[in-house]
Amino acid sequence: MPRIQSSTDLRNNYNEISTFCHQNREPVFITKNGQGDLAVMSMETYEALNGKLELYQLLDEGHRAAKEGRKRPHREVFDDIKQGFADGKI
């Protein structure tokens, strides 16, 4: 169940909201005049969420490339990666 608090609560109880976000690793939704306005979360939660989004975008890009026929044998890919390590590029 999402935690919803008013902008006044955020102003008056910042430390409590911050502690909640860090301990529970989930956002607090802030309302302004009874309407949704912001989502507040810890930096760690934001970075994890952003990392997942980047991963999903890369996976989607890979799926699209495969559907369009843009693919290579896995052995070739691994050989390129190994060569990148050997050349110090990775």
Q: What digits encode the pLDDT tens for the residues 67-76?
A: 999 999 999 9
User: What is the rounded average pLDDT for all residues in the chain?
Assistant: 96
Q: What is the pTM of this model?
A: 0.73
Q: Which residues contact 22 (CB under 8 A, 6 or more apart)?
A: 42, 44
Q: Model confidence at 81, in pLDDT bands (50, 70, 90)? A: very high
Q: Which residues contact 48 (CB under 8 A, 6 or more apart)?
A: 25
Q: What's residue 90's pLDDT?
A: 86
